[in-house]
Each structure stands twice: as C-alpha cells, then as structure tokens.
C-alpha cells in the first residue's frame, strides 16, 4: 500500500500538538495508536476527508507498529517520495528507495513540514480572530438546505445578527447549529467540550449578556398558564421590606352643633411586607451538558420546522429556568418560609418565602375580619357568590369602582355552570367576566387557588409582586467544579398587600373599616415546615402545619404543641421511617385511639383548646383513606348521626339547645363533641338517660367532651 504515511505522521504530529481535543496522543514506533470516536471525528473534520482517521490508524497499527527502526526509515522514505495522497493507488515496491533519501534527509524533511504546518495553523488562527472582532460584511446568504428553508446566517454569525452571543468564534454551539440548519447530521458536527473551562466561561458570559438584552423574550418563553393575576401590581427596588400606609378614617359627619366637636379618628396603618432571598443551586456533568446540546440541535433537525429557532443560550435559560419560574408562581401563592437558614440539606421550594395565602392567613382575625360563608360546590356557587356580594359586603364598598373578586378556576367555572342552570339560558362563558348586577366587580380566575375554596374581594392593585432588581431572577452563573459545571442564581422576590383593614375606633377589626374581604376556609394545610430535631413540644407560632422526623437523631415522643391557640387547627406530617416522632396521648394532647407514630406519610389533625391543649380531629395512616373530617352539626341540633363520623362540632344556635343522643352509635367507639359557639351553647344534662356523665356539660366554643359508647350508654372519658 503506497500511502503518504510519513507525511501523514508529520501532519498528525502537528495536529496532536495544537488541538486540545487530541491532548495526550502520541505516535511511537512499535506501539498501537488508539483514538476515540470523538478524536477520529476531529481528524476527519480537520483534513476534510471522512474515514481518514480510521484508515490511518489501521495502517499504523497493522504495518508501522510491526516494523523495526530500519524498516520504519525505509517506509518513511517511500512515503516522502510522493507529494499527494491517492487512496486508489496500487501498492508498489520501490527498490531504489534507500538511494533517494537517507534517514537523516527524512528527519529534516519532517521537521520542515512541521514548521510549515505550524505557520499555516497560525495564519488560520489570525484570520479567525480577525473575523471574530466584528460581523462579517459579506452579504448574508439564504440557506436552502434540505432541513430548514429560509434560514439565514453569515460566515461569522448565526442568523447573520452581528451580535457577540451569535458569533461562531469560541462558541462551538453556534457553529454546530449553523451546520445542522444546513442539513448536516447531528452525529457529524463537533459538539462542545464541556470539560473545558474556556467554553464554560464563554457560556457564562453569553447567558448573562442574553439575560440583559432579551429579558422580555425570556418572560414570553416561560409562560406556562400559571401567571401572576392581571390586577396585581409590581414594584422593584425592594431590598428588605416594602412598607405601605393606608389612611383610614372613621365617621366625619354629624348633626349641627353650636360648638366645634371634631369626630373623626384618622390614622395611618402601616403594612410591612417582607421580601425573601431565593437561590438556585445545581450541577451538571459534561455528559449532562452534551445531552442538552444534542437536544438543542435536534430542534433544528426537523423537516418543515419553523425557521425562527432559539439561540443556545436561550435554550439553556429556558431549560434551567422553566422549572424555577413555575415554582416561583406557585410559591407566590402557597409559600411558607422555613426560617432555618442553617439547614444542611436542600429545602422544599415552597419553604423559600411566605406567599399570598400565608399573608392572608396571618392577618385574618387580626387586621381584618373573615366572613363565614357556605362551602362552594358545583351546585351552589352562583347563589353563594351573589349572597356574599349582595348581603355580606358593606354597601359603600361593594359599589366602589375597580373591585376584583379572586377565586379558583374551579369556582369560576362552577359560577358559570350554576348560573346557567339557575337562569335556564345558554350562557356565553367568555363574556361572563363580572358578578351579575355588579359590573364594577371583575372575576379573576386563578389556577393557584383551585381546590382551596378561597375567595377574596379587594380593589385592583391592592396586591402585587415585589423584586429587588428586575430580571435578576433570570441571571445564572456557571462555574467549573471538579470536572463538572455548577450553575447558581440569586434573586429577591415577595408578595405585598397594601391594605387589609384599618383599626379605627377599637383594636378589633370590623367589616366597616376593611379594604380586603375573604372567607374563613382553612389554608395551607398541606404545606409543611420542618419542626426542630428531637422536639417533644414543637411550636406552631410560625405555621400550623409541621413535618416531623427527618431531622431527628433519635425516636421522639411529642407530648405538647407549643403556642397553639384555641380554635386553631394543627396539621402534623411524618416524613421519616427512622427516628420517628410519636404523638403521645396525655393531658395536653387528647387522642381518640391512643398514641400515633408519625412514620413516613402518616398525618394527624388536631384542634386547639383552651389552656394550650389540643384534641384529635382525625388521623390518616399512609396508604389508607383519611378518616372522616369533623362533622358540623346543624344549628339547634339535639342529636348526631354516628354514620356521618365520630367527631362532631356544634355551631351557633338560635335558642337554648339540649343535646340528647348520638344515633347509630357503634359499641366501643369513642365519640367527640366540640363546642363551636358561645351563642346559645349546646348543653348535655347529666340526668339524660343516654349518658353517664360526671356533671352537666355546656359546650362553649373550644370546649369538648369525649364519650365511649358501651352498647347502651355514652360514658364520659374526658372533657375540657
């Protein structure tokens, strides 16, 4: 085989010495040459001859490696005798080979060719650098490849944009995209070497530049249907707290008097809204990044696809931030801050900041009064909403301009459906955007509120999102780390409410002095924050839903719930099967069925009583159906039905009411009756033949009695 082997050795030696992808490759006589698939692709690409690397390596390994030094010199002389490579040329013997060149001459020729190749490489690099300094002035050509019609690039920039982030120089991902758009198979393009810190630094720089130049484009890309409500406001420049003030005024008018008698009591009520630090931490291996790059290139390799393709940096931002933005929009509503900044494990995204529902929950009964309304169902929603607006909201407020009624998308849908049934007409859903008879009250259907049963009524712009620097949530930084690539992001975000209610004449909020109205449904019952490790008396001062067990170093008995208030519901969740927290039945925690181990997935709901005690409402063992929730008895009810449950709660009665029996009771089951109101509170007489009590019971709000049915009578087991 008469090939230019020695000349190829010279060329290969120069390539191996100057190309980072060939680092560590050496050719030695008598030793097998081993090239990776990626390195062979690089050789073929460099010389513009597909299959060259395989052929060269095969010849080297089969022939050159089997020759001794003398034979190798002769072979070198044979190859150097020709100036061109011809794959179809037949093998010939050259008997006069040793007469035309000596070994010394061969070495000299090799050295000269290496120098020549190095000069060529330097000239090519200088030309590339020169072109990279700015956009090429060559007219943009229309690419009419077999894949994407109408795609345009220049010789130096993707899309012919002239932007630095679209240049081919130092950006293999752009060169690859241009090649694929012209029909080159993905497996034939040179993918980026993500283990090379130079490429990581370039990507880092480009993503920062892209985030600054194309912030609006990022926002459009990341829309996913869970948007911030249209009536919410937006403020920036908030570093720690955003304090709003609302001027509240009491009555000012009165009948004529001779004396000057000022009546109004005005005050500025400050609302302190906190902004939270959010961070993004992640890590990619070079293999991960190569997979992302391939997925990006596959977007180009689709016949008939849209010629408007994203940049790689845009694809990366979308890939990394798509999930982050979705989490942001859920957290803006359902977030509950975990204040433990010293935790050593990554926290749940919902625990990064307090959201809208947490702010509402913390202010109900403090800065404004919630309204008790019927629970929404598909059948009653139209009637319930009309009753709220027409009968429960103060008249001077409900006629104000620019009001917004926030509901879940489910409730909004139910309003349309039940209205249609009520009216008996074919309602055009798209046009029913306001509450019937109140064109000043606009519906805002919010996906994040679906399933909560919550409604709010307030002026447009009373709620909003606050950030520190707009766009910083889309800025990521990349850094090489132990052969991998770390990505990081830091930004500030929070929800603000301008005003809830104004305390004018007393410290008790009233409906007459409110700018914010909502119902009294339980909120955030399944968004937990972690209790302290090994805590036998966990506190609910910050939040009423706690997870227990994951941070414990030993099995822990929970004997009391700290900071619980009367009427407050507490939700506990087990998050570990190791070092489990057990809720212990005792003086401060009253349980129906004895102690309850909070193994992974187990849940228990407790109700706060007076004196810091709690009583069990229900419990759920992981993998089983939840026990029936507390049954609310009708006003003036004198009996309960055990078929509906075993936990009953009274409510406000219209007259004095004596409770007489629990029908359909089951032997050996403990039933609990809890007082729900002080108004005409339900009583149970000790003289009643159906009960064995230590004395009469008056079920004021928060009080309770536990009764064991022995088959004939209800025997008192506890009261409080």
Dump pLDDT digits (tens) for 607-652: 888 889 998 888 888 876 555 568 899 999 999 998 778 889 999 9
Pairwise CA distance, residues 223 & 329, whole Å? 10
For residue 536, is pLDDT > 80? yes
Pairwise CA distance, residues 71 & 62, whole Å? 14
The CA-based angle 23-26-32, given to 5 degrees, is 125
The CA-based angle 156-159-162, given to 5 degrees, is 55
The SS3 call for residue 408 is strand
Q: How far is CA 192 from the centre of its chain?
A: 29
pLDDT class of 665 with cuts at 50, 70, 90: confident
Q: CB–CB of 200/479 below 8 Å?
A: yes
Closest to 691 in 3D by CA, of 654, 640, 655, 651? 640
pLDDT of residue 182: 76
Q: CB–CB of 509/503 below 8 Å?
A: yes
Residue 601: Cβ-neighbour burial (10 angstroms; 0-12, 13-18, 19+):
middle
The kind and range of the H/E element at 444 are: strand 438-446
Report residue 377 as tokens.
């169902």
The residue among 221 and 317 whose pLDDT is bigger is 317
The residue among 432 and 63 whose pLDDT is bigger is 432
Closest to 565 in 3D by CA, of 358, 362, 274, 351? 362
pLDDT of residue 91: 40
Residues in the chain: 720
Average pLDDT over residues 661-685: 89
Give rounded-to-5 percent helix, strand, coil for the chain: 30, 25, 45
pLDDT of residue 503: 54
pLDDT of residue 85: 41
Q: CB–CB of 298/322 below 8 Å?
A: no
DSSP 610: G
pLDDT of residue 247: 47
Query: In angstroms, what CA-CA distances link 684 with 424, 660, 681?
Result: 47, 7, 10
Report residue 502 as tokens.
């104004």
Q: How far is CA 629 from the centre of its chain?
A: 31
Closest to 355 in 3D by CA, of 444, 270, 452? 452
Q: Any idea which of 145-154, 345-354, 466-475, 531-540 has the lowest mean pLDDT? A: 145-154
The kind and range of the H/E element at 589 are: strand 589-590
pLDDT class of 667 with cuts at 50, 70, 90: confident
The residue among 660 and 592 whose pLDDT is bigger is 660
For residue 14, is pLDDT > 80? no
Give the number of other CB atoms < 10 A from CB of residue 671. 21
The residue among 372 and 389 whose pLDDT is bigger is 389
pLDDT class of 107 with cuts at 50, 70, 90: very low
Torsion angle of the four alpha carbons 107, 111, 112, 114, in this order, in degrees rounded to the nearest 10:
140
Closest to 528 in 3D by CA, of 516, 542, 515, 517? 542
pLDDT class of 557 with cuts at 50, 70, 90: very high
What residue has token string 């050996």? 668
Q: CB–CB of 269/245 below 8 Å?
A: yes
Pairwise CA distance, residues 67 & 125, whole Å? 37
Q: Any idea which of 38-52, 432-446, 572-586, 639-653 has the lowest mean pLDDT? A: 38-52
Give the number of other CB atoms < 10 A from CB of residue 246. 16
For residue 75, is pLDDT > 50? no
pLDDT of residue 210: 76
pLDDT class of 79 with cuts at 50, 70, 90: very low
The kind and range of the H/E element at 541 are: none
pLDDT of residue 39: 80
Average pLDDT over residues 281-297: 80
Q: How far is CA 225 from the centre of its chain?
A: 14
Q: CB–CB of 321/474 below 8 Å?
A: yes
Pairwise CA distance, residues 454 & 293, whole Å? 44
For residue 328, is pLDDT > 80? yes
The residue among 74 and 698 whose pLDDT is bigger is 698
Give the rounded percent of residues in the chain with a pLDDT score beyond 70. 70
pLDDT of residue 563: 94
pLDDT class of 360 with cuts at 50, 70, 90: very high
Pairwise CA distance, residues 266 & 502, whole Å? 10
SS (HEC) of 12-50? HHHHHHHCHHHCCCCCCCCCCCCCCHHHHHHHHHHHCCC
Pairwise CA distance, residues 307 & 285, whole Å? 31
Residue spans of beta strands (DSSP E) within 208-309: 233-235, 241-249, 266-274, 276-284
For residue 573, is pLDDT > 80? yes
Q: Over the stretch 466-511, which tens digit does the pLDDT of each residue have?
A: 887 776 776 777 777 777 777 777 888 889 888 887 653 455 556 7
Q: Over the stretch 124-162, which tens digit does the pLDDT of each residue have?
A: 555 445 444 444 444 333 333 344 555 678 889 888 878
Phi-psi region of 702 (alpha: psi -120 to 50; beta: other; left: phi over 0): left
The SS3 call for residue 483 is coil
Closest to 214 in 3D by CA, of 315, 294, 68, 136? 315
The residue among 261 and 558 whose pLDDT is bigger is 558
Number of alpha carbons in the 13 Å side-chain half-sphere of residue 397: 21
Most confident of 39-43, 234-238, 676-680: 676-680
Residue 369 sits at φ, ψ, to 5 deg, of -100, 130
Report residue 542 as tokens.
């910050």
Query: In angstroms, what CA-CA distances link 405 with 57, 381, 398, 442, 457?
Result: 74, 13, 11, 6, 5
For residue 181, is pLDDT > 50? yes
pLDDT of residue 87: 41
Pairwise CA distance, residues 146 & 148, whole Å? 6
Query: In angstroms, what CA-CA distances link 359 with 252, 276, 304, 334, 543?
Result: 31, 13, 50, 10, 11
What does the mean pLDDT of the chain come to?
76
Strands laid side by side in the 603-608 sheet: 529-530, 545-548, 569-574, 603-608, 614-620, 589-590
The residue among 122 and 385 whose pLDDT is bigger is 385
| Beta carbons within 8 Å of 424's beta carbon, 6+ residues apart | none
Average pLDDT over residues 273-282: 76
First to last CA, the chain: 102
Q: Any idea which of 72-76, 82-86, 302-306 has the lowest mean pLDDT? A: 82-86
For residue 570, is pLDDT > 90? yes
| Beta carbons within 8 Å of 165's beta carbon, 6+ residues apart | 171, 206, 209, 210, 213, 311, 313
For residue 427, is pLDDT > 70? no
pLDDT class of 340 with cuts at 50, 70, 90: confident
């Amino acid at each position: 085989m008469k090939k230019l082997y020695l000349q190829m050795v010279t060329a290969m030696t120069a390539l191996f010495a100057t190309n980072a992808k060939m680092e560590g490759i050496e050719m030695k006589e008598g030793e097998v040459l081993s090239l990776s698939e990626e390195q062979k692709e690089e050789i073929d690409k460099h010389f513009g001859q597909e299959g060259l690397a395989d052929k060269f390596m095969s010849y080297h390994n089969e022939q050159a490696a089997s020759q001794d030094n003398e034979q190798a010199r002769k072979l070198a002389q044979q190859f150097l005798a020709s100036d061109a490579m011809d794959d179809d040329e037949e093998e010939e013997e050259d008997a006069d080979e040793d007469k035309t060149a000596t070994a010394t001459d061969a070495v000299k020729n090799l050295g000269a060719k290496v120098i020549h190749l190095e000069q060529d490489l330097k000239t090519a690099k200088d030309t590339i650098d020169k072109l990279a300094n700015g956009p090429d002035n060559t007219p943009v050509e229309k690419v009419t490849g077999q894949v994407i019609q109408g795609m345009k690039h220049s010789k130096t920039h993707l899309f012919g944009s002239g932007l630095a982030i679209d240049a081919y120089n130092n950006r293999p991902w752009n060169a690859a995209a241009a090649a694929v758009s012209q029909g080159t198979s993905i497996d034939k393009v040179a993918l980026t070497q993500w283990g090379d810190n130079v490429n990581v630094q370039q990507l880092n720089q480009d993503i920062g530049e892209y985030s600054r130049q194309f912030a609006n484009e990022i926002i459009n890309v990341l829309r996913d249907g869970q948007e911030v409500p249209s009536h919410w406001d937006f403020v920036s420049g908030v570093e720690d707290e955003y304090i709003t003030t609302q001027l509240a005024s009491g009555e000012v008018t009165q009948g004529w008097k001779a004396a000057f008698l000022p009546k109004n009591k005005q005050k500025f009520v400050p609302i302190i809204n906190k902004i939270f630090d959010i961070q993004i931490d992640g890590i990619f291996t070079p293999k991960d990044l190569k997979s992302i790059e391939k997925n990006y290139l596959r977007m180009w390799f689709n016949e008939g696809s849209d010629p408007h393709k994203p940049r790689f940096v845009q694809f990366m931002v979308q890939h990394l931030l798509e999930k982050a933005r979705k989490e942001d929009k859920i957290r803006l509503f359902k977030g509950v801050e975990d204040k433990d900044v010293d935790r050593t494990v990554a926290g749940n995204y919902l625990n990064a900041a307090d959201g809208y529902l947490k702010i509402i929950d913390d202010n109900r009964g403090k800065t404004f009064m919630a309204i008790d309304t019927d629970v929404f169902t598909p059948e009653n929603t139209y009637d319930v909403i009309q009753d709220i607006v027409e009968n429960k909201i103060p008249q001077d407020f409900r006629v104000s301009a620019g009001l917004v009624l926030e509901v879940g998308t489910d409730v909004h849908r139910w309003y349309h459906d039940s209205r249609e049934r009520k009216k008996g007409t074919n309602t055009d859903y798209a046009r029913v955007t306001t509450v019937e008879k109140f064109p000043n009250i606009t519906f805002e259907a919010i996906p994040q509120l679906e399933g909560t049963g919550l409604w709010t009524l307030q002026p447009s712009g009373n709620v909003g999102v606050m950030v520190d620097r707009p766009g910083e949530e889309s800025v990521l930084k990349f850094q090489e780390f132990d052969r991998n690539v770390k990505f990081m992001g830091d930004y500030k975000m929070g929800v603000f409410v301008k005003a809830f209610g104004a305390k004018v004449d007393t410290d008790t909020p009233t409906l007459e002095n409110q700018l914010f109205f909502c119902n009294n449904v339980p909120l955030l019952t399944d968004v937990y924050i972690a209790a302290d490790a090994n805590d036998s008396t966990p506190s609910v001062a910050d939040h009423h839903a706690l997870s227990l067990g994951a941070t414990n170093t030993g099995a822990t008995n929970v004997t009391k719930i700290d900071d619980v208030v009367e009427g407050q519901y507490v939700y506990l969740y087990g998050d570990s099967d190791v070092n489990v927290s057990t809720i212990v039945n005792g003086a401060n925690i009253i349980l129906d069925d004895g102690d309850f181990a909070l193994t992974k997935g187990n849940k228990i709901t407790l109700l706060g009583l007076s004196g810091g005690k709690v009583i069990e409402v229900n419990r759920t063992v992981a993998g089983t159906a939840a026990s029936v929730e507390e049954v609310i008895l009708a006003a003036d009810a004198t009996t309960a039905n055990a078929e509906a449950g075993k936990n009953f709660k009274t409510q406000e009665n219209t007259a004095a009411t004596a409770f007489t029996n629990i029908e359909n009771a089951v032997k050996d089951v403990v039933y609990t009756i809890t007082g729900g109101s002080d108004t005409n509170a339900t009583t149970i007489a000790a003289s009643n033949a159906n009960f064995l009590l230590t004395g009469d019971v008056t079920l004021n709000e928060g009080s309770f009695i536990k009764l064991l049915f022995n088959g004939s009578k209800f025997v008192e087991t506890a009261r409080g």
